[in-house]
Amino acid sequence: MNPWPFSARRIRKELTLILLLNLGCYLLFIHWDLFEKLDVWLHQHPASQLDEVLLLSFTLALSMTWFAIRRLREARQLLKALRRQAERDDITGLANRRRANQALQRETERSCRSGRRYSVLLIDLDHFKHINDSHGHLVGDKVLQRFGQVLRQRARQLDTIARWGGEEFIIVCPETEQDGALALAESISQLLRETDFDPALRVTASIGVATLADDDTPDSLVHRADICLYAAKQAGRNQVVGENHSPAPQP
């Protein structure tokens, strides 16, 4: 079910229906010679005010059409703003889980059509609760924002970066095999080590990487990335773990 009461497609559909309705009325008028009959009637009743009424109706129709177009444009702009708000995380400005799920579904369908695999990175900030407890939630929010900037610096423009929930993030990487996804994960870890998160000092992350298999669904793919993420945490955190990639200690 579409959660949005309006959409650009629906607006175009309704405008098309209005156009077809008016065209149908016009064709019926021609088919029954109503224009000629109306003209004859007006000549037979010269004192009638019908011509003034028709003129008023015509100008009113134009005004209402202009009014409707203006309101539709405003509604479309409002719809875009609401959609952006509904698909963005308030703290980091990244996509939220809803949009990430849409990207996962879209890329799974695309992969089925093209045969090209995609990968996901599931990322968890290490000991984030300790940061909140030691420095407060305002600092914690700043760490999340700074980490979002780190992800933007390393991810490609076509990747979807989203806050999955709490201190967990996900990156959906279209047309990316396991090796490319692991390279991205290692690059993120390296940039984290070079980034100043003052006053939180050093911030690290555990990353699980999974690549779409033939029988995968979005849920099963994320589940396998979550298993790799859990393995990274079990290995001491600050690790990158893929399905065919053993954890290695980070400096």
C-beta pairs of 94-99 under 8 Å, 24+ apart in sequence:
94/148, 94/151, 94/161, 94/162, 94/163, 94/169, 95/160, 95/161, 95/162, 95/163, 96/162, 96/163, 97/162, 97/163, 97/164, 97/165, 99/160, 99/162
Interacting residues of 204 by C-beta distance below 8 A, sequence separation 6+: 125, 126, 189, 192, 193, 237, 238, 250
* Cβ pair 50, 43 in contact under 8 A: no
Categorise residue 165: left if φ over 0, alpha if ψ from -120 to 50, beta otherwise. left
Catalytic residue status for 168:
no
- Which one from 107, 167, 168, 186 is the annotated catalytic residue? 167
Catalytically active residues, by annotation: 167
